Structure 1
């Protein structure tokens, strides 16, 4: 089992941090992020693992212009191949990596939660794929609070839409942030602190 920590709950959704990637996540809908290119020319880590699990099709689709990785562009893989734990995978575009800011990943989290709720899934996991695309740990050090704020705000929005009678109550009950093993402890503390701050207002 991958290492994981439960952080808490928000409007009926349990929020976790786990050492896994888009291939390993045993959820209804797994999210991965992909830029228009990798800074050093090659994917690594979870993004490489996902491309390998798809027999190279992820990079091929981008090379062919089917999915460019433009900001908030989405690619839904509703029939993942055998060997992938998730029942479906959605790749979210992030634009050019040289223009990345934490706000871009915040938008991707919001896009992912909205998609999970709209598809009526019960569990979802989100891999930001930042280090996998060549960004440095120093450049991405402040992203966890932005991701957590985006997640809670989007959950709030989906609950409000349901409360107005415009949609069913969200079925999402479990949300996991995927992180690498090397940064697991630090990421867990950053996410936990961010959630605690949001809970206290």
Structure 2
């Protein structure tokens, strides 16, 4: 998405940066994992396809993607971004009936980073960015039955189950943006700073 291509989000535990070609190789290595393929309902791509995907997503106004960097390992000058990559967070504007509805996805790929609050913080930050910058009014999340960690996370963020698909073995959760939701997100983020990003 062009909107976020020059934005980074600085948070207390992590930094979110736009998905650039330099991130693709590590992302591609992550997605060779059968566990991550199952958790994200993804099919493995060739490296060439992964580069093509990154390019198309960066230009697609219906997809907003940030790479999650571990703030505790990140040099202040962004010099070691690839080494500190731990996952990604996305918004997809695919609802033909509501242009301000966005599906949110979070992936913490590095196992040793899970359980430290980075996924929660990155999700909250993406929600804040979606509301304040992209005008999101409804968030949805589609999560596989077996993805207990993600289900627990989104329930803690006040998402409510609206449907189940036995065919896809997934639950659809929803959160309507209200003033109380905005207040909850704002109070849950210890730090949130949108700043200019350049390579």
Report the TM-score range of the alignment, normalised by the length of the smaller protein.
0.3 to 0.5
TM-score, normalization by structure 1: 0.40
TM score, norm. by length of structure 2: 0.40
Which structure is richer in relative contact order (CA contacts within 8 A, separation 6 or more)? 1
**Larger proportion of strand:** 2
